[in-house]
């Protein structure tokens, strides 16, 4: 991968008219980010095909696409199913490749399933494209987890990859398969390293996919939020609409091909700040009455924890003109409003 | 993985007495480096168990252990076989984890087999150790291939990993599984990133594992050597005895646990220089009469080629006191002498 030299700042790439009539495949399209992306692509008049396997305890949820259920096609299939993927990639203009095992904890308890989904299936998706649709453009959802414990902050794309869990290692490999197939076979691909993303349609059934969803659920339920450690740990959070926009920008701009971009947000917030804003927002809706409490870090989480993290996202800002638009309080307002209305579809 | 701060230069770690009576498992132990390591460990009075699957066209060759065949145990098994590995790791003091698919070209033609051996089997070996022998010490054979095309030379361990083929990506994951299991579960592990290694017992049956073996074979057979490109491409080469010593040093020194070290050599040599020295050495043995010729790079090799490469190996020099001892001409003399004598066991 030849890194291009420092370049001039691009204006935000225009993508709004790029998807009308285009055939778009979204793996993991019933999940959190995939469904928000599908809804946006329907607005942009794309012809959307969702692939999702609805694995229990993963993020897929048919209710997620309720607003567009008559305007998208849904194909239930597992990305590990080579024959299905060979067929489904045909004729597509874009592939948003979002299907994945995303739980760090689960990857440690069952590393083989994580390997099958995040490595083997990624190889077979890329082979499917190579053999059946080499002109497709792919946007791959990678993760900040590939960096592991930051050596410096903010973390830019030149930071070494030193993942601290099996999920991070396998996502690293999955990302590099995409870059490799771009460079060797010309299958155009871009990788976005997502940081914590939140918003409507986030999985809320359990607490195995990070703190954000669980805190939101507890706040809405008036339960006491337990913060591990002293709450000073720092993260950058993106509202899902901003992440969707980054994906659309990366899809339309061929100058991004073969490249890797951090997403991120400023200012970073501590877990304590996050919880305080969340509780204030919930109180606007008559919830958030459970407060919070600091508790010691459980061992299984502590030993794969990465400490403080926030990204330098100037590369995508300069290249694609992307800048997150939704501030934390506003994003949380929209999120809490969504779950207050549709709670029954996300947890008991 | 916390990188320790710049440290004082250690003297060469004494390892000669560390292996007497110790139980040592070598995966890939009938292969090139594994067999040389086994022979050395027998000299050091270790109790050596070799695991190898003798996959056709891979490096395993029973003749490789001819000098010690009555002093080691050989267990034919595939590292992908979870049950066998669960049994075989028990009671071992050291594991030299050398089994792997090593052909870059093969990894592009059959990425799934590379994934099974270099990723899935590595996970299952580590899980086997975790559940059956958590006090074992592991030395993992990684590769310079994880770096891809160097951004700068010499390449140190802080260089980004940007592999250019499936093998490099999967070896990167395999290496990080080892570091992860060291850091999370305390399964002591060290990774050595090997550069081109040559010497007796190198696979010579085909030319799918790099240029070194093939050039040596052609020179011995008085065939014309074909050098791709203009011959100016630079590499650092290690004689196998030096690599074996690095592995033994890494095994005994617990200060190396969880760390990654480049091997390397100075001065780097161009392919043209390598061929000239090789031909001169062969001529001492009455061979090397075929000369050489520059030919254009074939496309399938060019697109995964990494250009010039040589390593900065000061980290292992400072930490373990390792320094390669065998100069190129001397190493090639020993290598050519070996194959002149045992040619029939390596190619027709």
Question: What mean pLDDT is reported for chain B?
Answer: 94
d(CA B72, CA B62): 12
Within chain B, residue ranges assigned H as helices are 32-43, 82-88, 104-109, 111-115, 121-132, 166-185, 211-220, 240-252, 271-284, 299-302, 314-320, 328-342
- Best mutation target among B110, B148, B150, B180 (most A Cβ atoms within 10 Å) is B180
- Tell me the mean pLDDT per 10 residues along chain A, length 348: 55 91 98 98 98 90 97 95 95 97 91 95 96 98 96 97 96 98 97 97 89 95 95 96 98 97 97 97 97 91 85 97 97 98 94
Tally: H helices and E strands in chain B: 12, 13
How open is the CA angle B174-B302-B156, to the nearest 5 degrees? 45
Place of tokens 């399209």: A29
Judged on CB neighbours under 10 Å (0-12, 13-18, 19+), A302 is exposed
Using an 8 Å CB-CB cutoff, list residues of chain A that contact chain B. Answer: 1-3, 108, 111-112, 115, 119-120, 123-124, 127, 148-149, 151, 158, 160-166, 169-170, 172-173, 176-177, 179-180, 183-184, 303-304
CB contact under 8 A, B184 and A164: yes
The answer to whether A165 touches A107, Cβ cutoff 8 Å, is yes
Chain B hits for A172, CB-CB cut-off 8 Å, are 172-173, 176
CB contact under 8 A, A179 and B162: yes
Question: If you measure CA to CA, which chain A residue comes closest to B158?
Answer: A160
CB contact under 8 A, B162 and A1: yes
Tally: H helices and E strands in chain A: 12, 13
Tokens for A21?
């009539």
pLDDT score recorded for residue A8 = 67
The CA distance from A176 to the nearest CA of chain B, in Å, is 7
pLDDT score recorded for residue A4 = 47
Chain A hits for B193, CB-CB cut-off 8 Å, are none
Q: Which residues pair with B24 in a beta bridge?
A: B48, B94
Q: Which residues pair with B198 in a beta bridge?
A: B239
The answer to whether B235 touches B263, Cβ cutoff 8 Å, is no
- Best mutation target among A80, A167, A176 (most B Cβ atoms within 10 Å) is A176
B23-198+238-266+310-326 adopts what CATH topology?
Answer: Rossmann fold (3.40.50)
d(CA B274, CA B280): 10
CB contact under 8 A, A184 and B160: no
The answer to whether B123 touches B194, Cβ cutoff 8 Å, is no
The answer to whether A103 touches A300, Cβ cutoff 8 Å, is no
d(CA A286, CA A300): 35
Among candidate residues B187, B113, B173, B188, the one with its CA nearest the CA of residue A166:
B173
Tokens for B313?
């190996």
* CATH number of the domain located at residue range(s) A23-200+238-264+310-325 in this protein: 3.40.50.720
Residue B28, helix vs strand vs coil? coil
Tokens for A8?
């001039």
CB within 8 A of B242, min separation 6: which ones?
B263, B265, B322, B324, B325, B326
Give the ipTM.
Answer: 0.91
Per-residue three-class SS string for B221-238: CCCCEEEECCCCCEECEE
Residues of chain B with pLDDT under 50: 1-5
Cβ-nearest to A180 among B115, B119, B169: B169
Tokens for B165?
């083929």
A166-202 b/e with 16+ CB inside 10 Å = b? bbbbbbbbbbbbbbbbbbbbebbbbbbbbbbbbbbbb
The answer to whether A242 touches A195, Cβ cutoff 8 Å, is no
Give the A:B interface size as CB pairs under 8 Å: 85
**CA atoms lying within 13 Å on the CB side of residue A138:** 36
The answer to whether A163 touches A304, Cβ cutoff 8 Å, is no
d(CA A189, CA A258): 6
pLDDT tens readout for residues B137-167: 999 999 999 999 999 999 999 999 999 999 9
How open is the CA angle B344-B347-B348, to the nearest 5 degrees? 75
Within chain A, residue ranges assigned H as helices are 32-43, 82-88, 104-109, 111-115, 121-132, 166-185, 211-220, 240-252, 271-284, 299-302, 314-320, 328-342
Residue B301: asked if its preceding bond is cis (omega within 30°), the reply is no
The CA distance from B324 to the nearest CA of chain A, in Å, is 27
Please state the domain extents for chain A.
Answer: 23-200+238-264+310-325
């Amino acid at each position: 991968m030849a890194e291009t030299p420092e370049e001039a700042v691009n204006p935000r790439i225009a993508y709004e008219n790029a998807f009308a009539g285009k055939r778009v495949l979204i793996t993991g399209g019933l999940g959190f980010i995939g469904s928000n992306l599908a809804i946006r692509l329907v607005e942009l008049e794309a012809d959307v095909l969702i692939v999702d396997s609805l694995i229990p305890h993963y993020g897929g949820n048919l209710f997620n696409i309720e607003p567009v259920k008559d305007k998208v096609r849904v194909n239930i299939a597992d990305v590990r199913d080579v024959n299905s993927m060979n067929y489904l990639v045909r004729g597509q203009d874009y592939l948003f490749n979002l299907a994945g095992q995303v739980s760090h904890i689960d990857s440690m308890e069952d590393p083989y399933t994580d390997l099958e989904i995040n490595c083997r299936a990624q190889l077979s998706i890329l082979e499917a494209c190579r053999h059946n649709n080499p002109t497709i453009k792919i946007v791959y959802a990678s993760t900040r987890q590939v960096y592991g414990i930051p050596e410096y902050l903010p973390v830019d794309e030149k930071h070494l990859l030193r993942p601290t869990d099996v999920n991070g290692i396998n996502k690293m490999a999955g990302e590099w398969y995409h870059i490799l197939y771009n460079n060797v076979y010309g299958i155009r691909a871009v990788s976005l390293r997502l940081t914590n993303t939140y918003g409507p349609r986030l999985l809320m059934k359990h607490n195995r996919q990070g703190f954000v969803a669980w805190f939101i659920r507890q706040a809405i339920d008036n339960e006491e939020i337990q913060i591990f450690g002293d709450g000073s740990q720092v993260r950058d959070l993106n509202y899902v609409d901003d992440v969707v926009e980054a994906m659309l920008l990366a899809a339309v701009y061929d100058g991004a091909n073969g490249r890797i971009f951090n997403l991120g947000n400023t200012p970073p917030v501590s877990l304590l700040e996050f919880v305080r804003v969340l509780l204030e927002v919930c109180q606007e809706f008559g919830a958030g009455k459970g407060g919070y409490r600091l508790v010691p870090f459980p061992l299984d989480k502590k030993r794969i924890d990465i400490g403080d993290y926030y990204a330098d996202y100037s590369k995508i800002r300069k290249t694609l003109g992307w800048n997150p638009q939704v501030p934390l309080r506003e994003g949380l307002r929209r999120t809490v409003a969504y779950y207050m209305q549709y709670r029954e579809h996300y947890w008991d």
